[in-house]
Chain A
Amino acid sequence: MRTIRKFEFLNARTIDEAVNTLAAYKGKAWPFAGGTDILRMMRFQPLPENLYPEVLINLKTISPSLEYIKEEDGILSIGALTKLVDIANNALVGERYSALANAANKVASPQIRNMATISGNICQLTHCLYFSKPDNRFHCLRKGGSECPAQLGDNRYCSIFGDVNGCVAVNTSDIAPALIALNARIKTNKRMVNAGEFWDVRVPGSTILDEDEIVVEIQVPRPPPDAKSVFMKFSIRSSIDFPIVNGAALIGDGVARIALNAVAPKPYRATKAEEVLKGKTIDETAAEEAAIAAVSEASPLSFNKWKISVAKAIVKRMVLNTKSR
């Protein structure tokens, strides 16, 4: 049995305390939310010694609590520390923002949804087979190394849309595509970021956040009344497993937004597919055309051409599913 790597654990009582402490430790402190992603990393230790946090800062002790869901003036606001189970079961989210509720309901397993938060989900580390191997077996680009073992190795689950900064690992957040399709904004202690611009590929992080920056709220504008949003996920088992390809779409009332994830190092907005659907009535032909357009820029690696068919099928089905109300 592997024990979790040593660290110091601090409870933040305010957002200020959290970000001041993050700043004081200069990258050696990381925020701690549900812990399901970070503790697994601290146990299996895929990173080189210099990249681990020495301090974890508990955001769940912040008061007033960052755990809430409310809708005001046509904007749904979700506190950063809201548990996925509460998003999945919220009647309002289920009715008006169904892609988000369905995405939350498809993350990992019931136990993990009881523990995991929305901010932890969107900040999870992107990973591939090689990145995740325990004890820094593969010192890849995202660990400060000089090559990407997946480019020539087992890349069956990797990016079909090329690399970012040389990395072909995919972002596996189920929540991310729902936020992009729904045109959400992510509020931090410093700024407001459109969901489409929130993700990045760094050593080892996966977001644009600074060392002393935390997500405090997710804001989603209420979709137009006749638009429908859907989420779809393809994974090996229907529970526990990370997505192989997932996607979300918001279509109707003159709007067409489609996002895919687990297909690229950052969530992928299928703008070509959106253009195809502009001004069209949704039917089998339009859905097929959108699906073809969605993967028109794909450039698969040696072992993952098959993922293009999966992405295509997901786009087609999502588009057709937005038809029936």
Chain B
Amino acid sequence: MNIPGEKKTDDIGVESKNLAKPPQIIGLTVNGRQHIFKVGVDIQPNTTLRDLLKERLGLYSPKEMCQGDGSCGSCTVMLDGKPVLSCLTLAVDCDGKSVETVEGIAEAGHPLIDAFRNNYAYQCGYCTSGFIVAAKALLDRNPNPTDEEIVKALSGNICRCGAYAAIISAVREAAERLKGG
């Protein structure tokens, strides 16, 4: 979807024929809906995917517990089916990609949502959306995970309130429900 730059020279007066070009339009699918953003208008080069989801689309589920340090997982979203940190992902780097957030997971009626509620898998709830996305990614590729596999898949997410045991139970319950249990 990138439109090659129209300018023949760039700011430093170098012939731009054999130089890298800025992306101008970013198209991405979020929770099944397509969106187009103009670079420099709707988004800037330093706009993160989390900023875009929040500021342009009103999706508040990705949090920023560690303030974008990469060390908490509360901003986790699915990018082309894999959990990534939306605080360290640039919106301009997402052209043609597909994003899924907890809003989409809930809309699709995924059993993880009820399982987190049934197991009280949170206290303050600030980490919850990150955990649910990481757990959804696990169940998508491994519908029958062992406890060890659950722990590994969730090892990039921090819960300050220490709800880990309940979170693991919730993922186990969701896996059971997906099997029809």
Contact = CB atoms under 8 A, between A and B. Distances in A.
B13 to A, nearest CB: 9
Interface string A102-114: 0000001111101
Contacts of A36: 70, 85, 88
Main secondary structure of the interface of A (DSSP, over half): mixed
A11 B76 CA distance: 25
A11 B12 contact: no
A35 B73 CA distance: 16
Contacts of A60: 93
Nearest to A39: B88
Contacts of B68: 1-2, 4, 39-40, 43
Interface in B59-73: 64, 67-71, 73
B162 interface: no
Interface residues of B, number: 41
Contacts of A112: 70, 85, 156
A15 to B, nearest CB: 11
B148 to A, nearest CB: 12
A234 interface: no
B20 A108 contact: no
B57 interface: no
A219 interface: no
Contacts of B73: 109, 111
Given A4-B46, A9-B92, A109-B155, 4 more contacts: A58-B20, A111-B83, A114-B79, A240-B155
Interface of B: 2, 10, 12, 14, 18-23, 39, 44-46, 48, 51, 64, 67-71, 73, 76, 79, 82-85, 88-90, 92-93, 134, 152-153, 155-158
The 7 A-B pairs of least Cβ separation, nearest first, read A109-B156, A239-B155, A10-B20, A9-B45, A12-B20, A4-B46, A21-B20
19 contacts: A2-B68, A8-B45, A9-B93, A10-B22, A13-B20, A18-B20, A20-B19, A24-B14, A25-B12, A39-B48, A39-B68, A39-B88, A56-B45, A108-B156, A110-B83, A110-B134, A110-B152, A111-B85, A114-B82
